[in-house]
Amino acid sequence: MSHSSDRKTDDMKEIASRLVEMAGKSGAADADALAVNDVGENISVRNRKIESVEREESRGIGLRAFVKTSEGLAFASASSSDFSNDGMRKLVDQVIAMARISTADPDAMPPSGAEHPTTAELATWDDKHPVEIEWTLAAARQAALACEEAALDYSDKIENSEGAEAGFSRTHVAYASADNFRGKYQKSSLGLSLSVIAGTGDQMQRDYAYSRVQQVEKLKNPQMIGQEAAERAIRRVGARSISTRQTTVVFEPRMATSILGHLISAINGRSVLQKRSFLAESNGQALFPEFVQIEDNPDHPDGLGNRLFDGEGTRCRQRTIIDSGKLTGFLTDRYAAARLKSEPTGHARRGLTGDTGIGPSNLILHPGEMDVEAMLQEIGDGLLVTEMMGFGINGVTGDYSRGAAGFLIENGKVGQPVNEITVAGNLKKMFANISHLGSDLTWFGSTAVPTIAIADMTVAGQEG
Amino acid sequence: MERIAGISLPSSLTALDTRGGTDERLPPMKSSPQPNNLPVAEETLSQMLDKMVPTGADDADLYLEQSASESLALEEGRVKHVSASAHQGIGARVIRGEVSGHAYTDRLESPALMECARAARAIAESGARAQSVSIHPDRTDHQLYQPANPALTASMPERKALLEKLDRLARTLDPRVKQVFANVSTSFSSIHLIRMDGSHLHDARPLVRLNVSVVVEQNGKRETGSTGGGGRFDLTHLLKGDEAERLTREAVRLALLNLDAIPAPAGPMPVVLGPGWPGILLHEAIGHGLEGDFNRKGSSAFSGKIGQRIAAPGVTVVDDGSMPERRGSLNMDDEGTPTGCTTLIEDGILTTYMQDRQNARLMGVEPTGNGRRESYAHPVLPRMTNTFMLAGQDDPKEILSTLKHGLYAVNFGGGQVDITSGKFVFSTSEAYLIENGEIKAPVKGATLIGNGPDVLTKVSMIGNDLQLDPGVGTCGKDGQSVPVGVGQPTLKIDEMVVGGTDS
């Protein structure tokens, strides 16, 4: 780990601490602050030539301050990119003035009093989670060129390229709260992606492949990414719509992440409080078949969502979200936990501005025993979905309807490519109707999922 | 992050929706632009250009942005989310042929700016150009909106009172209303663009938005309804008129309507789309596919189709960034090109792609004022502004009466498109099953899917009731979000696939 890197997080910590102290002196009853420094570089190549180079450096500070009123605590938040003394003073004054306009909430949860990680845990976290500092723009360029080349050389069916992109970013974050908690960490992210086109005219089909990791040694081989993108685009050529039917829909891991995402939105403690979730009354219920196990793991070697503490300084812990098909509880920050009369689960999420939200760290849907081939054999006929479009999900009712593309499953084998179809159902029923989980656990950033098969969905298409 | 991972589809339009949208008369513009208060000395900017522009550069510019936004949000009867942000920064870019270099920083001190200029120049092999340029003012063509921060037109307590009033109204309208969420946000960004020749353009862009959504409950069954509206105007629009109340009534009506919704049909059928926001059809089906970058690269389903019929006779679609006070409007685009009205499809024939400067240069055409960026820290891309279909001759009632068995969709959520295959979707939030020209029942939200290059050839009737959306659209492309507008008259499309569950 480099010293300059360390100094940056220390600088951020110093800034966040000062903001919290200034807020206290200016009349805030409680406060917390965040300081962030981001550096990123990105290069894109297309048709074996460099297309663009980008470099970004940005900083931000965010303050949340609470003031006392006769009806309880009221709060406000603001962010700025001005790190000067004057800028910080302005920010503090602005937030406190705004907090006095804000309506008090008798249940308001000030940042002080969270169960923080220990000093020893804080001290060792960065050493156990080293960030990547070696990847350079030159290495990124080489990876992007190699990746695209592998796709272009893969087959003459690859007619065009949308280009390959490689980039990395390093983030230094510090958090301070009025109960003297001071936390800081660094993060790095490297990515390499490619999108290519097979076919021509009305039968052009695009597909992509990518890898996003924290450290360069975990990055997928660029040639493999290139070949994957090429293969995926080529196999889609000749896609057509199909007749409307009720059938089993198999979501490959890339698409299965979204199903997990819908579950997480629905068990968000704040949505539950506001009756904005179709699972608001489902605590403890068997939502899934017994073989479904879902965990949130804030410290996983393959996850990009590792964190020691959450957006309000609460220590994060491994949690089983779905245990043998049953929902074990809702995900909460301290506010939602207090109102739901449960323990905070360490899922507070915070940006520079705004109240805390709720979100997972690393989500893992445990894989099944069967490889995908055997799974498709057992399913016989159905639809394999490899791409989805649109936002047709109603979080209050769970009604689900999205555009899709993929392949027919015929006699247990992947067959005819299809597109211009929709898949529809209701999420609650879809969860219960999961018939198979593949053994192909795959990581996508901070989510790991296998192939998921869901029985009895409606597929609509053009052939009446 | 998304952009690096490349996991997002090339485009999407995610937004709340609301029916119709009143296109009320706009007040005349009185005040002149603010004095051009450059946050960085002219000499420093001139030095940056000297450092970054190589010989043989086709284009280069500096984009200085200062923005401030405020938001108040009500939930559970309390305006307890009050927030603000203020940011500034500069984007430097150099373009030569198909290659571009970009650097962004939010530090406006001289050493950081010089480092930024150096990084933007990284693509250039040749030496610096010989001549230095001086910064000199230039003018934009339009004055489409007041160059003032809309937050200054109503205090936070006034905005808070508005949200509380809407909360009370929603709860009074119907006892089944259990939750009300309302949010009013303002933003103001001041942009200084310094071009390669030293010319200096300034634009100051206000933006206001109000969202209302409710959750209703009846016999243990819940539903939701959402509306919104806004534009490049000040807050008096929302505080003085009855627009805010109208949006609230609409949110309640939508939620209650959906309580009685039956499952949507599944399969191909004729569809009548209402006027206004359903124009999201155009944004997804043809809009993105007509953006210059995809067509220069040959990756759009519309590549090489200029001069060809892609819509039925009578279909004319334009993109107009020069409409006063519209959400998608700009005095100049983010490269200093004046916005205007570009005809994309004329009487069914594809006429023009939307262009930024780089793609226009490479395709040998003129830029159309569609070069946009989310902020100083994003590259310029060809993007839409306000995209709509002109009115036709048909009476909307008559259009509906011709529907034997089909869907009448008047409100939508978001949509998305696969540029290359041309397949696109958009999802209904208010739709009815029609039998023999009569409304049979409201149906649950469903996604409609179609093929961009041929969906408009299936347009068989065009209403005389053109409406623009109420000012809610946010378009996403390559991880960048920009405000846009859409619009259309009532339309009949002879066949689209409806993605319900009732097969």
Tens digits of residue pLDDT in A279-318? 999 999 999 999 999 999 999 999 999 999 999 999 999 9
Paired residues of A381 in beta bridges:
none
Q: What is the mean pLDDT of residues B34-40?
A: 71
Q: How confident is the model at residue B71 (pLDDT cuts 50, 70, 90)?
A: very high
Q: What pLDDT, on the 0 to 100 scale, is given for residue A355?
A: 86
**Smallest CA–CA separation between A30 and chain B, in Å?**
16
Contacts with B, A 9-68, CB within 8 Å: 42, 46, 49-60
Q: What pLDDT, on the 0 to 100 scale, is given for residue A131?
A: 84
Check pLDDT > 70 for residue B15: no
Residue in the block written with tokens 């634009």:
B203
Check pLDDT > 90 for residue B27: no
CB contact under 8 A, A102 and B81: yes
Check pLDDT > 80 for residue B369: yes
Domain ranges in chain B? Answer: 266-499
Question: Any residues with CB less than 8 A from the CB of A229 and at least 6 apart, and which?
Answer: A151, A194, A195, A196, A207, A208, A209
- For residues B125 and B330, the model is more confident at B330
Q: Which tens digits make up the pLDDT trace of B283-303?
A: 999 999 999 999 999 999 999
Check pLDDT > 60 for residue A192: yes
Closest-CA residue to A417 (of A389, A385, A388)? A385
Q: What pLDDT, on the 0 to 100 scale, is given for residue B126?
A: 64
Report CA Rg, chain B: 24
A136 close contact with B: CB closer than 8 A: no
Q: What pLDDT, on the 0 to 100 scale, is given for residue B36?
A: 60
Q: What pLDDT, on the 0 to 100 scale, is given for residue A2?
A: 44
CB contact under 8 A, B427 and A424: no
CB-neighbour burial class of residue A121 (10 A; exposed 0-12, middle 13-18, buried 19+): middle
Q: How confident is the model at residue B127 (pLDDT cuts 50, 70, 90)?
A: low
Strands (E) located in B274-321: 317-320
Q: What is the mean pLDDT of residues A369-373?
A: 97
A415 close contact with B: CB closer than 8 A: no
SS3 for chain A is: CCHHHHHHHHHHHHHHHHHHHHHHHCCCCEEEEEEEEEEEEEEEEECCEEEEEEEEEEEEEEEEEEEEECCEEEEEEEEECCCCHHHHHHHHHHHHHHHHHCCCECCCCCCCCCCCCCHHHHHHHHHHCCCCCCCCHHHHHHHHHHHHHHHHCCCCCEEEEEEEEEEEEEEEEEEEECCCCEEEEEEEEEEEEEEEEECCHHHCEEEEEEEEECCHHHCCCHHHHHHHHHHHHHHHCCCECCCCEEEEEEECHHHHHHHHHHHHHHCEHHHHHCCCCCCCCCCCCECCCCCCCEEECCCCCCCCCCCCECCCCCECCCEEEEECCEECCCECCHHHHHHCCCCCCCCEECCCCCCCEECCCCEEECCCCECHHHHHHHHCCEEEEEEEECCCECCCCCEEEEEEEEEEEECCEEEEEEEEEEEEEEHHHHHHCEEEEECCCEEECCEEECCEEEEEEEEECCCC
Q: What is the C-alpha separation between B348 and B496, in angstroms, rounded?
A: 19
List, as one string, the DSSP characters of B398-455: HHHHT-SEEEEEEEEEEEEE-TTT-EEEEEEEEEEEEETTEEEEEE---EEEEEHHHH
A423 close contact with B: CB closer than 8 A: yes
Residue in the block written with tokens 């513009």:
B29
Closest-CA residue to B424 (of A303, A408, A405, A376)? A405
Q: What pLDDT, on the 0 to 100 scale, is given for residue A432?
A: 98
Q: Which amino acid type is present at position A365?
A: L
Q: How confident is the model at residue B218 (pLDDT cuts 50, 70, 90)?
A: very high
CB contact under 8 A, B444 and A394: yes
CB contact under 8 A, A193 and B7: yes
CB contact under 8 A, B4 and A191: yes
| Nearest by CB: B423 against A99, A419, A424 | A419
Task: Give B-chain residues touching A104 at CB under 8 angstroms.
Answer: 78, 80
Question: What is each CA distance from A313 to A65, A179, A356, A388, B145, in whole angstroms?
Answer: 15, 10, 11, 36, 44
Q: What is the C-alpha separation between B487 and B329, in angstroms, rounded?
A: 14
Average pLDDT value for chain B: 91
Check pLDDT > 70 for residue A4: no
Q: Which tens digits make up the pLDDT trace of A309-360?
A: 999 999 999 999 999 999 999 999 999 999 999 999 999 999 999 888 999 9
Q: How confident is the model at residue B130 (pLDDT cuts 50, 70, 90)?
A: low
Task: Give B-chain residues touching A59 at CB under 8 angstroms.
Answer: 106-107
Task: Report the sign of the C-alpha dihedral through residues A158, A161, A166, A167, in that order.
Answer: negative
Question: What is each CA distance from B196 to B112, B207, B359, B364, in whole angstroms?
Answer: 20, 29, 17, 20
Task: Give B-chain residues touching A98 at CB under 8 angstroms.
Answer: 82-84, 156
Q: How confident is the model at residue B16 (pLDDT cuts 50, 70, 90)?
A: very low
| Collapsed DSSP state (helix, strand, coil) of residue B332 | strand
The two three-digit tokens of residue B338, written as one number: 């004046």
Q: What is the C-alpha separation between A148 and A229, in angstroms, rounded?
A: 9
Q: What pLDDT, on the 0 to 100 scale, is given for residue B70?
A: 97
| Nearest by CB: B447 against A204, A402, A461 | A402
Domains and CATH numbers, chain A: 3-229 (3.30.2290.10), 239-464 (no CATH)
Cβ–Cβ under 8 Å, residues A95 and A64: yes
Q: How confident is the model at residue A272 (pLDDT cuts 50, 70, 90)?
A: very high
Question: Any residues with CB less than 8 A from the CB of A364 and at least 6 apart, and which?
Answer: A294, A295, A296, A297, A300, A441, A447, A448, A449
CB contact under 8 A, B89 and A81: yes
Q: What is the mean pLDDT of residues B361-388?
A: 98
Q: What pLDDT, on the 0 to 100 scale, is given for residue B22?
A: 30
Q: What pLDDT, on the 0 to 100 scale, is given for residue A463?
A: 76
Q: Which tens digits make up the pLDDT trace of B424-461?
A: 999 999 999 999 999 999 999 999 999 999 999 999 99
Question: Any residues with CB less than 8 A from the CB of B94 and at least 6 apart, and which?
Answer: B52, B53, B54, B57, B59, B60, B100, B101, B120, B121, B123, B124
Residue in the block written with tokens 């550069």:
B57
Closest-CA residue to B329 (of B457, B207, B216)? B207
The two three-digit tokens of residue A288, written as one number: 């899934």
What is the percent of chain A with per-residue pLDDT over 90, rounded to a whole number? 92
Check pLDDT > 70 for residue B20: no
Give the rounded distance of the alpha carbon of B276 from its chain centre: 14
Task: Give A-chain residues touching B298 at CB under 8 angstroms.
Answer: 160
Paired residues of B498 in beta bridges:
B267, B448
- Say how many CA atoms lie within 13 Å of A3 toward its Cβ: 0
Q: How confident is the model at residue B125 (pLDDT cuts 50, 70, 90)?
A: low
Task: Give B-chain residues touching A222 at CB under 8 angstroms.
Answer: none
Contacts with B, A 159-178, CB within 8 Å: 160, 162, 165-167, 169
Q: What is the mean pLDDT of residues B134-159?
A: 93
Mutation for testing the A interface, residue in B417, B454, B497 having most A CBs under 10 Å = B497
- For residues A356 and A232, the model is more confident at A232
The two three-digit tokens of residue B407, written as one number: 């869907």
Q: What is the C-alpha separation between A398 and A391, in angstroms, rounded?
A: 12
